[in-house]
A and B are shown apart, each in its own frame.
Chain A
């Protein structure tokens, strides 16, 4: 069992918005990723398929079609740097290089401790505030330069440390 009862209930609560259960598929996959560290674990597809009463292969196909769905683990902070034209004109390549050096991974990889991953993505609709990146599904980080992107990495490291430190929750 990958999906908790609570998650299944949240998915089912979406059904009344549509004439068919299948329409909830993208929403369900978004919910699952948000609960499972940003990726879709093995077994989830079959359970979603059962819930929506559709063939498992349809779910697999959808997962592989959409670039926001990750069938493999990504970092706890998945850094998605826009590498389309307006961002490249504003120096997106430098931002990617700075991240690669700071995190000691290549774009497309995950750090050994699983904290960070870097991806180059298509235009995110932030072209007037380029270069930019998005962490997971959080609000955009815009108007980046080499310094501010390093500061961002530092802030995220602190967030990771704060979350893993023992103590009252």
Chain B
């Protein structure tokens, strides 16, 4: 079946201008929804579409919306997650820079469906072009009557604000984001209460990723059956796979969920450099367990299949590593990242990320013994439970699975007291 693109403009085009977005069918879904469809029907349709969150956890979007209380408490907010800091991930940026009205339209429909007063798009502070394009698009949308008072005569008063982050991965975690938006350190909150009940300023809040919200106009505009015809039974619709690392054509590829990873690497991303063989692939950003080449050639990029094969879809950020890449250095780079980004509230995470990093440094320098490899396993087990947020697990999976799945290479570093690929592999 030919791949239908609907999230991103074709051929590198940019539809940030309202006129271009509208010329390509933009805002038709919102106009119909706000004039003709009942809010409950939209929530029901998003549920029926099977849309799952694109921010990493894959939670059902319509179900999340239905957790909002029915007690009439106002105001109610949307927190839209544009922090996009999971290493390897640059998909939301494609939407924000090239199709920001799609996000605005999605937020508008979600606001109407869930009786929302305002949305805050939390954008990572470094995203300059995304910030400029999204702000300009919001101004244009407001001018055209898609935001503001009584939008399209529906009775909905709705504003979108863009809020810049300031360089902290943990602010992508949903409650860290809320703390940050409120003007504090981005340290995640204990749950319950969940954001649907007590989110931003302790008011009812739905939180969704940029890409999740950008899917909504297409579900409403083209229908639930159309959406469900794309992807697999339990992973519906297209997503944007950001491919990076050792491939000929790294890039953001919009494809159906369930696309074989082999096709993404060897067809869309142009395959490996001449003479190289595949060693390892991270399928969904550095928080997700790495796959061996053999496993990577078997999997399809949907939630069920990846879970069956010992990893997770995460953000769909595919990082490809060929036979020149040292697994110890890769793990070390990831461990360093998590050590830097742990917010320090939980002992397991604060201490565990520090230990992991130190252990990988020792191994990389050829100063470790086999005991250190076992220690890594123990540290990972210690980290994988009872923390306030999932960063601790992510660090244990992202770095720890390199040892679990490429143990001989770690042992070789210990036996040879250094990197067997030194001079060949990338440097850290």
Contacts and interface: CB of A to CB of B under 8 A. Distances in A.
A69 B181 CA distance: 16
A93 B184 contact: no
Given A89-B245, A89-B246, A127-B87, A122 B341 contact: yes
Contacts of A121: 167
Contact of A125 (B89, B159, B319): B89
Given A84-B337, A86-B244, A61 B185 contact: yes
B183 A127 contact: no
Interface stretch (A3-11, A110-118, A128-136): A128-136
12 contacts: A23-B182, A23-B183, A25-B184, A65-B168, A65-B186, A66-B166, A68-B166, A85-B333, A93-B427, A125-B84, A127-B319, A139-B129
A67 B244 contact: no
B8 interface: no
B128 A122 contact: no
A167 interface: no
Interface residues of A, number: 48
Contacts of A67: 166-168
Interface string B83-120: 01111111011000000000000000000000000000
Contacts of B90: 125-128
Contacts of A24: 183
The 9 closest A-B pairs by CB, nearest first: A68-B167, A66-B166, A25-B183, A22-B183, A127-B244, A123-B87, A86-B244, A67-B167, A93-B427
Interface stretch (A26-34, A98-106, A147-155, A157-165): A26-34
Interface in A1-55: 17-20, 22-27, 29-30, 52, 54
Contacts of A122: 85, 87, 169, 337, 340-341
A91 interface: yes
A128 B166 contact: no
Contacts, number: 152
Interface of A: 17-20, 22-27, 29-30, 52, 54, 58, 61-62, 65-69, 80, 83-86, 88-91, 93-94, 121-130, 134, 137-140
A128 to B, nearest CB: 4
Given A26-B183, A91-B426, A93-B426, A123 B88 contact: yes
Contacts of B128: 134, 137-140
A58 B252 CA distance: 39
Given A68-B166, A128-B242, 17 more contacts: A22-B182, A23-B181, A25-B183, A26-B165, A61-B185, A62-B184, A68-B165, A68-B167, A84-B337, A86-B245, A86-B250, A88-B329, A122-B341, A126-B93, A128-B90, A128-B243, A134-B126
Contacts of B325: 89
Nearest to B75: A19
Interface string B307-348: 000000000010101000100011001100100110000000
A128 B244 contact: yes
B88 A86 contact: yes
B69 to A, nearest CB: 18
Contacts of B181: 23
B406 to A, nearest CB: 15
Interface string B250-270: 111000000000000000000
